[in-house]
Structure 1
Amino acid sequence: MEGLLVNRATTGRFYIFQCFSRFLSPLSAVPLVALSGFGLYEFGFPVLAKCIEIGLPQIILLLIFSQYIPHMIHGERHVFDRFAVIFSVVIVWIYAHLLTVGGAYKNTGPKTQLSCRTDRAGIIGAAPWIRVPYPFQWGAPSFDAGEAFAMMAASFVALVESTGVFIAVSRYASATPLPPSILSRGIGWQGVGILFSGIFGTGNGSSVSVENAGLLALTRVGSRRVVQISAGFMIFFSILGKFGAVFASIPSPIIAALYCLFFAYVGSAGLGFLQFCNLNSFRTKFILGFSVFMGLSIPQYFNEYTAVNGYGPVHTGARWFNDMINVPFSSEAFVAGLLAMILDVTLHRKDSTTRKDRGMHWWDRFRSFRTDTRSEEFYRLPFNLNKFFPSV
């Protein structure tokens, strides 16, 4: 039921967020986009190191296939960089399975077996062959006003983080900068996704996939057709449980090795916006430094406090109120993006050089959808970007 309520709140902010996004500039986008990727560092090497004999070969092979071999082999067909993930995962997955069946983890601890084994928890054997999800499979929806407000706060955090990833995707797809109208449309469809999440009882809402944004940068394929085919495969594997369980049996260190590149790509997209800002301005330096530092420091405090005490710094009798405060301030991208935008729109606004320092002279032509003819090409037609950008 919370998902149904969150959808109403999210889609209700459809046009409100369009107005909010007009205050974004390349300067305030830097911390937001950068920490949308770099802020997920705990899912990278710390998880990879839980089974270093699997995770390390994975990241090394991924680097070789995606960065080195394409520059050694010059050809018209881009094979290794397009399929670097598939090649590296298959090789290391087979290697991990050989270690599992060979008894390498027979006498190890439970944590090591959970991270390294490909047959952990009998996930393949327990999965059904066919399982069709249906609405309200967990029973009739229930209503709780407090929990609904807590879920709305969580959806707002996902909305802000998704905005950073949207901007990163547009950069890596060689598209024009996102007009506020297009950005709000994506947020609106995210609300529709949360609606279906609530109906089918997924346990979590819909948000932009940061790893898919990094995958776009790695493969340099910005085709909507690819996304549509991938969505078809996801539906297929969600219904045929055995096939989905096979992919779910991939050890988590292999996935963490992929995240090391994917999240790094998304974070570097944020750093790319620095080229449009005046880095000699002390105003620019203060906003960037303060927002990034606080974006890392405040969530670290909230997470450490919660790990030690079992509850967040805001601890009242109303759990929903606690979640409304603790959840947003535990997100690096949310804190950094919010601080950067507030400082950017309030600090020295009357200074004549401020607008150029914050990079707005570059985004001005894209504030309206129809001020650039390329907008029609990128946001209306289902095409492959390689036709327009051979280097992509």
Structure 2
Amino acid sequence: MLGTIVFLSTLLVPLMGGGNVEKAEMIQTLLFVAAINTLLQTWFGTRLPVVVGASYAFIIPAISVAFSSRMSVFIDPHQRFKQSMRAIQGALIVASVFQIIIGFLGFWRIFARFLSPLSAVPLVTLTGLGFFALGFPKLANCVEIGLPALLILVIFSQYIPQIMKSRVVDRYSVIYSIGIAWAFSEILTAAGAYKGRSPITQLSCRTDRSGLISAAPWLRVPYPFQWGAPSFNVGDAFAMVAASLVAIIESTGTFIAASRFGSATPVPPSVLSRGIGWLGISNLVDAFFGTATGSTASVENAGLLGLTRVGSRRVVQISAGFMFFFSILGKFGAVLASIPLPIVAAVYCILFAYVASAGLCFLQFCNLNSFRTMFIIGFSLFMGLSVPQYFNEYLLISGHGPVHTRSIAFNSIVQVIFSSPGTVAIIVAYLLDFTMSRGHSATRRDSGRHWWGRFRNFDQDIRTEEFYSLPMNLNRFFPSF
């Protein structure tokens, strides 16, 4: 998750007019609110061992705000940064209210009740595979440290545990591989291996991160409205609501994957809806503190559950305590943020692959001899990869998406939704699964609905009730169906 925070801060802060000081403060703020949101989700949300952190889904609306004409009137970069942040805060407040309504009023519960293992396959699979651009393409920016990091992680997580007959090594394989690769990159940086190289190579490979550590304060506690009072714009709000819908869908896929790796029963619709409601609270916290992006359930964290085979809620809550520590002591957080992004990308290659495999695991509940099943799986996976690829390539070549109207907000809405592989895949799979051969007697079994039927109400199974029930007898405030 730290890699996501550093990447988003490095991308968004300069576009908004900020420098190293603002970047360091934003990293601290993102870590601080991630700790708060993780505790809220594990205590009162789904209660799954998931980390709630910064989301890539909000990049397009945030960039639209930063490049809007009303921001170009500010000549002072610091003033433009503050005004952009305040506009994003206002849009996030509206988006968080949308998520709160969708979750706590039970609208997402209605959607989840018709979700089957068949439609969950493309959702969860592309929740992982959808981030393939953050894997090897980012690793290749500095292949001399990224590729060794990937090989070390594979060896420590897959081969050495078999040789040593111990489960200790693979549980700490990510720490070992990052530490070794990080030390290697530090040696290369100190030896001057990157002097005279291109700025992109230096940004990817060097560990000194061009003043980030020196710009970070020793002690700083983020506080609400630290950039000023939020400002509101209708167009920004609609674009941010679209991004929040994408975050809802991706978080649903992550929740399902986390339940699989955490040895929990399938997540009941009411628990999914409850989790989305608390995700809205998380985005409201983001808006108050000013993070420039919203929150989602961390996909890489779900993959880490599969890699370490440790699906403990308490472990995640302890990690939130460490996030508090590193967010307040800014120098320590900046040192961690100096990990070269190719090393993080090497870890992503493994973690995102685990999430994708969790989606493929649900094929065991479907009838793979059915042509209906094969069509829905194949078509939804293909469209989930093909449509976002088209939208992203069009944006890269033309500077705008395929939908290019006078309304910047509408353009952003369409671009955000259709550039998300998981969102496109679940739209296609859900509609096909719900409409194709609906009245046929074998359809329910082909989709695997009979396997999930017993877990629809979390109080019908004692294992489900033990895992998902809320503390302090709060279940009476939330429906169990």
Q: Could you state the TM-score of these two structures normalised by the residue count of structure 1?
A: 0.95
Give the Å deviation of 1:10: 0.7
Correspondent of 2:394 among 283, 286, 305: 305
**Residues 217-239 of structure 1, C-alpha deviation per residue, up to 9 Å, x if partnerless?**
11111111111111111111111
Correspondent of 2:283 among 194, 197, 206: 194
**Residues 5-51 of structure 1, C-alpha deviation per residue, up to 9 Å, x if partnerless?**
11111111111011011110000000000000011100000111111
- Matches of 1:184 and 1:298, distance apart in 2: 28
Other structure's SS at 1:207 match = strand
- Matches of 2:436 and 2:262, distance apart in 1: 32
**Aligned length in residues:** 380
**Residues 247-293 of structure 1, C-alpha deviation per residue, up to 9 Å, x if partnerless?**
10000010000000000000000000000101110000110111111
Q: Which runs of 4 or more aligned residues in structure 1 lie more than 6 Å from their structure 2 counterparts after TM superposition?
A: none
Q: Which residue of 2 aligns with 1:95?
A: 184
- Matches of 1:332 and 1:265, distance apart in 2: 17
Give the Å deviation of 1:381: 7.7
Q: Which residue of 1 aligns with 2:8?
A: none
The 5 A counterparts of 1:218-233 are: 218-233=307-322
2:458–2:468 CA contact under 8 A, matched in 1: no
- Matches of 2:304 and 2:463, distance apart in 1: 24
Q: Which residue of 1 aligns with 2:131?
A: 40
Give the partner amino acid of 1:64.
I
Correspondent of 2:161 among 53, 59, 70: 70
The 5 A counterparts of 1:112-261 are: 112-261=201-350
The 5 A counterparts of 1:52-63 are: 52-63=143-154
**Residues 295-321 of structure 1, C-alpha deviation per residue, up to 9 Å, x if partnerless?**
111111111111111111111111111
Aligned Cα root-mean-square deviation (Å): 1.1
Give the partner amino acid of 1:374.
R
**Cα distance change, pair 250–199 in 1 and its aligned pair in 2 (3 A):** same
Q: Which residue of 1 aligns with 2:418?
A: 329
- Matches of 1:240 and 1:357, distance apart in 2: 54
Give the partner amino acid of 1:16.
F
- Matches of 2:94 and 2:214, distance apart in 1: 37
Give the partner amino acid of 2:124.
V
Asked whether 1:24 is paired with 2:107, we answer no
Other structure's SS at 1:218 match = helix
Quick check: 26-35 or 101-110, which moved more?
101-110
Q: Which runs of 5+ in 1 are unaligned?
A: 383-392
- Matches of 1:210 and 1:342, distance apart in 2: 24
Give the partner amino acid of 1:9.
F
- Matches of 2:200 and 2:391, distance apart in 1: 26
Give the Å deviation of 1:376: 2.0
- Matches of 1:160 and 1:314, distance apart in 2: 22
Q: Which residue of 2 aligns with 1:10?
A: 99
**Residues 91-145 of structure 1, C-alpha deviation per residue, up to 9 Å, x if partnerless?**
1111110011011111211111111111121211111111211111111111112
- Matches of 2:415 and 2:470, distance apart in 1: 41
**Residues 149-169 of structure 1, C-alpha deviation per residue, up to 9 Å, x if partnerless?**
111111001100111111000
Give the partner amino acid of 1:247.
L
- Matches of 1:32 and 1:181, distance apart in 2: 19
- Matches of 1:307 and 1:59, distance apart in 2: 28
- Matches of 1:332 and 1:181, distance apart in 2: 25
- Matches of 1:342 and 1:215, distance apart in 2: 31
- Matches of 1:350 and 1:233, distance apart in 2: 52
Q: Could you state the TM-score of these two structures normalised by the residue count of structure 2?
A: 0.78
Identity in percent: 63
